[in-house]
Each structure stands twice: as structure tokens, then as C-alpha cells.
Chains A and B, each alone.
Chain A
Amino acid sequence: MEDLNKHVNTVNTLLARYGVRFGIYKNGEFKEQLFPFDPIPRVIEADEFRYLEKGLAQRVTALNMFLADIYGEKKILKDGIIPEDFVYSSSGYLAECEGIMPPKGVYSHISGIDLVKGKDGEWYILEDNLRIPSGASYPLIARDLCRKASPHTFINNHIEDNRDYAILLKDTMDHVNTGGINVIFTPGRYNAAFFEHSYLAEKTGSVLADANDLEVVGDYLYYKGYGGQRMKVGAVYRRVSDEYMDPMTFVPDSVIGVPHIFEVYKKGNVALLNAPGNGVADDKGIYYFVPKMISYYLGETAILKNAPTYLPIYEEDMNYVMENFHKLVIKDVAEAGGYGVVFGDSMGSEALEAFKETVRKEPRRFICQEVIDFMDLPILEGAETVERKADLRAFVLTGSDVHVWKSGLTRFSRNPDSFIVNSSQGGGFKDTWVLSR
């Protein structure tokens, strides 16, 4: 393992050369950053991973059932398990998806579940990402380069091969394909994860397309080839978000969408991965209810725990939140990517009082959680090893069955005092090794 440390510069140089970047918008300007790679992997023992695997598959199964229920019969609302207005007022809920059953009934094909390991040794779910979770390509290419830099590391250690991600993803697309080619639909060159779109297209043998390459004719979606010939599209792994996907159905001035694509989907003539409307299930407010969903739909107890969470809309929770504000983390349910996250203990007393007032006035907007003291992982800084906070994004692919990828994206915070590990906040990443025995 130590051998990899010697090669860290080589690997990072190669990553830069391959264009492994992360784009961010700051003050309206697009900037690309390298996504710094740390050579010390996160290692997960075989037994521990089997436990995670069971818990993650259970969670994603329940979330998929929840989505089918919400856009269908709504039993969970009628039975009073989740308050109705929580669903309808969620920004991720799309009324346009009511009554639509996606091909093969799969809503969340590619799920990115963020977890942390607490100092108590217990894993906690931080959030579910069921819309367009990115990041699988980073450990994929990093592993590839590490293998080249230090082949014997991978001979001497019993590590699960993670190169099967491309096959898993292709199978997931093929499973729901309604007849035609597989396409990865990118917003384009200036998207934060453009590297990933092109990389996954290459690895899965899909066609990389932007809005100008796709068109709806009649009841079908087509890819326009270079020679002007049209190819029918059966599955679209779309990396364009719901609201920009179809200017004739959603945001009208979107220039990165395909007019009428939603109509084709509605008629069952193309699969969209992930299904539109999934945002209702990964809403930070709905998160609170996931363990309840698991017992409601599956009759099982949730294997993986949520971080202890309070919803200020409930009086009891509001009282607790008001008394313990200083030690909680408060999240704005409408924000993503580490934005809109505030730690109670980081605020001055005046700001704290003002914020409490906001929560009191807009209880639906926030969730409050106990700060989980999560485990530090070693990272290499120069020649030294230092400890930093890190989380894990596990990828769960749902096709004919639910499959947890035996790897994942471990992100760490570069700032020793920060708990926020999101790449858009300037963190780095590690490979995640799952041991095979």
C-alpha cells in the first residue's frame, strides 16, 4: 500500500492529463479544478461491506417503491405515514410525473448514497442522491492509473476489482431500453461533471450526445448521426436535470433540453435514467421518513441508520431544536452540494438567534441533525500523514436486481476543521477498496 504513496504525483499528473476535473461556478464564472487524488485508500473489510451491501440494497429498494407509490397509488400518504404536504411541497416533486410508470418500473437506476462512519464504529446515512449522482468515474480511473503505477499492490492485496462498473451501468441501461441505442445525454462541455459523461460513454459503449444531437420525431426519440441518418434511442442516461430536460414541459427557456422528450417518455417509448421526479425521494425532509418507508414497504427494520434528525414542523422536534440549536447542524432542504448547511456551534449568539427565528418562521424549510463525530481518515500532505474528515458515496445500480458496486467515492475535506466534504467545496478524493476476503 505504501508503494502507492511514492506514485502520488505521477497519478495526479496523469489524472490532470486525462482531464479528470471538476467544474464549479463561482460568481457566474465557470472554473475547472483538478480533483486532488489522495493515494491512501479507504479500506473496507469484506464482512463490513457485506453489511453495507445489505443495508444499501434495502434502502434503495424501499426508495424505488416509494417513488412508484407517490406517482401512483399514494398508499403511504393515505395511511398517514408521511404527511401529504411534505410530498407535494417538495421542490423535487413533479406533478407532471403523476401516473407515469417508467419502463420496467425502475425510478432510481443509479443511486448515490452518502454515508459516514462514526467514531462509534457505526455507519450512518447522510443523504440519498437519486437524481443525477456523479462521481463513479473518479475511483474508476484512479484505480486504473494506480494499477499502472504499482501493479504489485493489486496483486499482493485482495481487492475487489471495480472495473465492472461499466458493465453494471450498461446492464442497467439495457434492462430498461425500449428498443434502440443507449445514449448519455450531457448538458455539455461546461457541466461540472463533463469528464464523467464522456468517460462513462466510452466505457459503456453508449453515444455521448447533447441537446443538438437528439430530436423527437413522432412518438420516438432519435440520435442524429454525422451523416444525417437517424438512429432510434431506447435508453437515455441523462445528466441534464429534470427542469431543463424538456423546454416544452418544464423550464421554457432551457437550451440544453430536447423539446417533447418528456412526451416520448410518457408514452413508454424511451427510458430515462434516472426517472424524472425522483427529487421527491431524496429531499432532505423526506430523508427523515426513509426508515419508516423501509418498514412500511418491506416490513423490515432499516439496517443502516439515519443520522438522528429532527423536523421542526413537529412540535416536539421544534422544542428540542430550539433548546439544542448550538450543537445541531441545520440544513436548508432546497440546497445541495454542501451549500445551505450551517453548524449551530459556528454561529455567534446574535446570528444564532436570528437563524432560530428563521427556522421558527419557516419550519418546513429546514431539517436539523445531530453532528455525527465521524471518523478521520489519513491523507498524505507532502511527506506527512494527517487526519481528515471523509465520507463515502456508495453507488447502487438497479436493473433486473439491485447491485451495490464494490467500490465507491471517498471524499475528504482538506480543511482540518471542516465536516463538509463536497467536491464543489474544494475537497479531494480517495479510492475505496473493498477487500475480497
Chain B
Amino acid sequence: MSKLRFCYSSIYKFDTPIVEHHFKIKCMPKTCGRQNIIIEKMNISTNDFCSEAQDFFGNRYVYGDIRSPHTTFQYEIIGTAEVNNSNIDTSDDFVGMCQLQTKLTHCGSAIIKHIRYLEKICAAMSDLEKYNYINSYVNHLLKYEQWQTDVETTAEEALVMGHGVCQDYSHIMISILRGMGIPARYVVGMMIGEGYSHAWVEVYTPGDDITKSGWYGFDPTNNQLIDDTYIKISHGRDYDDGMVIRGMFKGTAKQQQIICVNVEEMG
């Protein structure tokens, strides 16, 4: 078990004033089996209204409007987390849905080739061995490189390009797993030493005599298992479900975004 303090903050700067700005922010971790969250502070730019809701996966978000002209928008969430990753999520909600590919995880011929190969290699492995094997297998498929891919890059495209970021690693791993008939979901969260938000994968196993059924976390970007240094924010079918911020406004401004995520162990 670990005790962590986290701070998620982001600032948007617009070079000319914008109006009728609608926003939706999904970056509040919530208490669940593996983590106990206390939100100490949540600040959002002065707004006309702001309200809280949950999406169908149970992820929390806030949404609202700023109507009058403004050139900055910022939000900040500070809190603490007690994490015990051995308490996995055992619910089988939406397992069926997480078995189906989405537009972002859809597999083309490049991914299918790996699926065929992995099906042979992993045939005799137990579920968790298999997931672990695929986790490090995916880690070796890509070279970590920023700014090469964007939020619309699909798993197949990233694989063909050969480089990407955590989002691409996760999409590829999910695509392979689903292609093998295994339910997998996309997780957004924070981890010690990352500086940004992070993405990883949770895989479902129906369990057996030794293994508890439920969702197990893997981090293909760092080739490791999820442990107590990770704080989970949300999960969904793919990046789109976990999108941290969504917004629209009137204006022709160019925007600049600074994100700062900090997680540290509490003494």
C-alpha cells in the first residue's frame, strides 16, 4: 500500500479573446477498490455555471460554460490517494462491450499478423501469463516518441508508423487483446515521475482456482505491471471515452496548453 499526493493542473492560453466557451473536464480520480481518494482542492476558472456528472463507466467529470470574453482557462485538482493495487476491480460490467473493437482500436492487416503469431505462442499460457507476455511484446513493437501521433491516430496507424506515446501503446495492446477475444479497456491515470497524464490497459480474466476474476492492469509503455504508484482517473473503451478535456468556443484564437501532473509519495 502507498500514500500519494497528486496535483493535476492545466492552463490554456488564447492569443485573442474567446467567447461562449463550453468545457468538460474528466480528470478527477475517484475512490474504488484499488484506491481511496480525497480531493482537497478543485479550482476552475471563473465561470457562468459548472456542474458535476458521471459517465456510463462511472467516471466523474465537471462541465460548464464561460460566456464572456476571456484569454485564459485553467483548472487544478489536488488531493491524496491511498493505493492498494491488489484490490482489483471484480465487476463484470461491460465486459462484452470491452471485447469489441472501436474506431481507434480497429485492427488492420498489420495488427492481425501479430494476433495470429501471439495466438500460437500464447496457446498454452494461463490468462495472466498471456497478458503479461503481450504487455512486453507490445512494448517492443513501438519506439517511444512524442509528437508523431495525435488523438486521432488509430492502433493500426501507430503500429505501421512504429512510434508513439502511451496512448498508442495502449490502443495497440487493446486491439490485439480484443482481436484474440479478450476484453480489455483503456485507462487514464497518473503515475509517479511522469509529468503528464498517463494511459494504460486493464484486461479482464474470468478467473480460475488460483486467479481472482476481474480487471488486471498493465502498462505497455513502461513494460511493467500496474502497482501502487499509479492513480487511476477513468476507464473506457478507448481514448475517446477517457478524454481528459473537451471544449468548444467562438473565436479565432490560437491556443497553447500547458499540463502539469505531479504525483509524489507522502512521507
B22 in contact with A259 (CB, 8 Å): yes
A218 touches B (CB below 8 Å): yes
Interface residues of B in 1-38 (CB under 8 A from A): 22, 24
A217 in contact with B248 (CB, 8 Å): no
B48 in contact with A260 (CB, 8 Å): no
B53 in contact with A267 (CB, 8 Å): yes
A to B contact number (C-beta, < 8 Å): 45
Interface residues of B in 81-125 (CB under 8 A from A): 94, 96-97, 99-100
Q: A96-B56, A263-B63 are in contact. Are A248 and B51 (CB under 8 A)?
A: no
A252 in contact with B100 (CB, 8 Å): no
A98 in contact with B56 (CB, 8 Å): yes
Which of chain A's residues has its CB closest to B50's CB? A218
A219 in contact with B51 (CB, 8 Å): yes
Residue ranges of A at the interface with B (Cβ–Cβ < 8 Å): 77, 84-85, 88-89, 95-99, 216-219, 247-248, 252, 259-260, 263, 266-267
Known: A217-B49, A219-B51, A247-B248. 13 other contacts (CB 8 A): A84-B96, A88-B97, A88-B100, A95-B237, A95-B241, A98-B56, A217-B48, A217-B65, A252-B248, A259-B22, A260-B63, A260-B65, A263-B51
Residue with the greatest number of chain B CB neighbours at <10 A, chosen from A97, A216, A219, A259: A259
CB distance from B230 to the nearest CB of A (A): 25
Interface bits B63-88 vs A (CB < 8 Å: 1, else 0): 10100000000000000000000000
13 A/B residue pairs, CB under 8 Å, sorted by A: A84-B96, A85-B99, A96-B55, A97-B56, A98-B56, A99-B56, A216-B65, A218-B51, A248-B22, A248-B246, A259-B22, A260-B63, A266-B53
- Cα–Cα distance between A217 and B50 once the two chains are bound (Å): 9
- Cα–Cα distance between A88 and B96 once the two chains are bound (Å): 8
CB distance from A251 to the nearest CB of B (A): 11
Residue ranges of B at the interface with A (Cβ–Cβ < 8 Å): 22, 24, 48-49, 51, 53, 55-56, 63, 65, 94, 96-97, 99-100, 237, 241, 246, 248
B100 in contact with A85 (CB, 8 Å): yes
- Cα–Cα distance between A216 and B96 once the two chains are bound (Å): 34
- Cα–Cα distance between A219 and B64 once the two chains are bound (Å): 10
- Cα–Cα distance between A277 and B51 once the two chains are bound (Å): 23
- Cα–Cα distance between A217 and B63 once the two chains are bound (Å): 11
Which of chain A's residues has its CB closest to B61's CB? A263
CB distance from B85 to the nearest CB of A (A): 27
A218 in contact with B248 (CB, 8 Å): no
A259 in contact with B53 (CB, 8 Å): no
Contacts of A95 in B (CB 8 A): 56, 97, 237, 241
Contacts of B248 in A (CB 8 A): 247-248, 252, 259
